[in-house]
Amino acid sequence: MTVTGQSTVASESGNALYLLFRKSQSSTIMNVNLLSEQRVIEDGYRTETSLEQWLVEDSFLEALPSDPSKISVLKRNEHLNYLAKLLLEGLNKRYAVQDASQPWLTFWILQSFSLLGVLLDPGNKQKVINTILAMQHPDGGFGGGPKQAPHILPTYAAICTLAIVGRPGKGGGWDEINRKGLYNFFLSLKQPDGSFHVMRDGEVDIRGTYCLLAVSTMLNILTPTLVEGVPDFVRSCQTYEGGFSCASYARFMEGQLLSFPRPSLGEAHGGYTSCALASWVFLKPFWEGTSTPSIDVKRTIRWLTKQQGGGANMGGFRGRTNKLVDGCYSWWVGGCFALLPALGIQIDSVPRHIDNADDAAHDNDSEWDDVEEELFNSQALQDYIIYLAQAPSGGLRDKPQKSPDAYHTLYNLAGLSIAQHRVRPVPSERDWIPQPGENLILLKEKRILPILSCKDDALDLDPSETADARDARRKRVFTEVYWWKEQESLSQVKGGSINRVNATHPLFNLTVSHIQPMLSYFYGQP
């Protein structure tokens, strides 16, 4: 059932539109006439949102080439010129409102370069390293700019940027990270319900939880003390729809946190859902020997699949139910499907949910039939990005008639990467080198390994752990996130190699070639 504002399309009509939609996406040629037949059906009761939907569909149809045989391609050179201008010539005045997001702007630009297959020269890499390090707070963490208060979100962007341009050694950025101060900063933000303030006296937000877990994983400072209670918080953010909201309402009685009721705050949202699912994967190594908590993955999948727009929405994703599609959700929603294998869901041949007309019994397992079909239409998503999200002069955007920006450029390209490539968890391909140990020291002396000064033993982060328990925990964390590899036989690049972008790691949104060296360094692995 498709709903726009208060206008409803009957399920039979919706199925017919879906079949037309799949037909229109089965070719590299865009048929404007066919897509125009797939407009949201007018029911005679116009609302502000239904009119807005029609205007957006009009803009989509107008943006498509009038000649059905004309095939659009990725405007690689235009995007590179757009990004280079942002990085080297500075940002225009409309970016002034993002003064507290300087690490994010840098990350968006550099990761876009990475997806497009471009690396910075050593001189510009060092400039970026120095710029990012200038944003590190003396007590730990990174601010949104020099001398700004530390904040979890720009800390994540700063560490991701250093993963792209940094290196071990003096001046390389990695050894200059104040890991002990960062860990203490994170602990200072922890709340009794397992959530985190994003900064001192700031709000609670599941995006902060994701950023904290991602950074702690990358830098080998993720401890049992830090994650205590976090799974319960993440789980409590799941809404009745199946997606996740930003936070939940914690209730206390006589100083004790009540496990129930703990209602989510707000509606399901693509960005929050992405952060929640990735957080769930980061937390998995801490469940060994304990009762495994759970989230309703089936309900999540159901919600995710319903966010892709069919018909004249051209396969774009929306971030919330009944909202307009937006190119950035190509990553925030589309990227969620790439996380499902780490949650035990085999998405390359999966059960597909069969809707009832009233959707009343969606928890009934009998409704799931084995059908070999993608959970989302990756071909249609590539069309949305290539035909509608590219600005003519470079950069990518929300949708036609919107201006490009660094944020939408990255998350459209990341969504394109997810649609083209299948990066999946794989079995460990090397033995774990215990930390600390005589073998590691011997390997260092023989110059087989770099000299590592970044083991968390020296930081004394969690004294409650024994040395053996600490090493076992680090091994589980490292193995969970390091061993992901592109399954090249499953790649689906629509339009040929000219449209290809690099594969990105679904947990970090960094290329594997950037995240693996940082993980190897901080975990002391070759």
- What pLDDT does residue 348 have? 61
Determine which of 8-12, 304-308, 520-524 has the lowest per-residue pLDDT on average. Answer: 8-12
Q: Which residues pair with 167 in a beta bridge?
A: 173
> What does the pLDDT read at residue 458?
55
Cβ burial, residue 215 (10 Å; 0-12/13-18/19+): buried
Q: DSSP letters along 360-405, please?
A: TTTT-GGGEEE----SS-HHHHHHIIIIIIB-TTSSB-SSTTSPP-
Interatomic CA distance for residues 333 and 113, integer angstroms = 22
E runs forming strands in 13-65: none
Domain ranges within the chain, ordered by starting residue: 87-188, 198-296
Q: Is residue 329 annotated as a catalytic residue, yes or no?
A: yes
Report the distance separating Cα 236 and Cα 424, nearest Å: 27
Q: What is the pLDDT of residue 278?
A: 98
Query: For the segment 293-306, what is each residue's pLDDT rounded down to a tens digit?
Result: 889 999 999 999 99
If phi > 0 it is left, if psi is from -120 to 50 it is alpha, else beta; for residue 187 that is alpha
Looking at every residue in the chain, the average pLDDT score rounds to 85
Helix (H) or strand (E) holding 92: none
User: Which SS3 state, helix, strand or coil, does residue 1 take?
Assistant: coil
Of 35-44, 251-260, 507-516, give the lowest mean pLDDT range.
35-44
Q: CA 115 → CA 4, 11, 220, 490, distances in Å?
A: 34, 39, 26, 18
* Sole residue written with tokens 């877990």: 213
316 close to 383: Cβ distance less than 8 angstroms: no
Residue at token pair 């940027």: 161
Return the HEC string of 216-240: HHHCCCCCHHHHCCHHHHHHHCECC
**Residue 405 annotated in active site:** yes
Catalytic residue among 269, 399, 421, 473: 269
Q: Which sign does the torsion angle of CA 254, 256, 262, 267 carry? A: positive
> Positive or negative CA dihedral for 217, 378, 65, 34?
negative
Query: What is the per-residue pLDDT for 515?
Result: 97
pLDDT at 106: 98
Is the model's pLDDT at 10 over the cut of 60? Answer: no
185: left (phi > 0), else alpha (psi -120 to 50), else beta?
A: alpha
323 catalytic? Reply is yes
Give the model confidence (pLDDT) of 154-173 as tens digits. Answer: 999 999 999 999 999 999 99
Segment 433-475, tens digit of pLDDT: 886 544 444 444 544 444 444 445 557 788 888 888 889 999 9
| 125-140 pLDDT tens trace | 999 999 999 999 999 9
Residue 192, phi then psi, degrees to nearest 5: -60, -25
* Whether the Cβ atoms of residue 481 and residue 241 lie closer than 8 Å to each other: no
pTM of the entire predicted model:
0.86
Measure the CA–CA gap between 224 and 244, rounded to whole angstroms: 24
Highest mean pLDDT out of 80-94, 354-368, 503-517: 503-517
Residue 509 has pLDDT above 80, yes or no: yes
408 is a catalytic site residue: yes
**β-sheet bridge partners, residue 196:** 190
The model's confidence at residue 374, banded by pLDDT at 50, 70 and 90, is: confident
For residue 198, the SS3 value is coil
Which of 137, 235, 306, 326 is flagged as catalytic?
326
CB of 115 closer than 8 Å to CB of 414: yes
Catalytic position from the list 156, 183, 272, 329: 329
pLDDT score of 37: 56
Chain-centre distance of CA 418, in angstroms?
A: 10
Q: Give the mean pLDDT of 59-79.
A: 88
Percent of the chain with pLDDT over 90: 63
DSSP at 431: -
Active site residue 398: yes
pLDDT tens digit string along 183-222?
999 999 999 999 999 999 999 999 999 999 999 999 999 9
Phi, psi of 308 (to 5 degrees): -85, 125
- Predicted local confidence at residue 70, as pLDDT: 77
Residue 26 pLDDT level (bands cut at 50, 70, 90): very low
Catalytic one among 320, 353, 422, 505? 320
323-367 pLDDT tens trace = 999 999 999 999 999 999 999 887 664 444 434 334 444 444 444
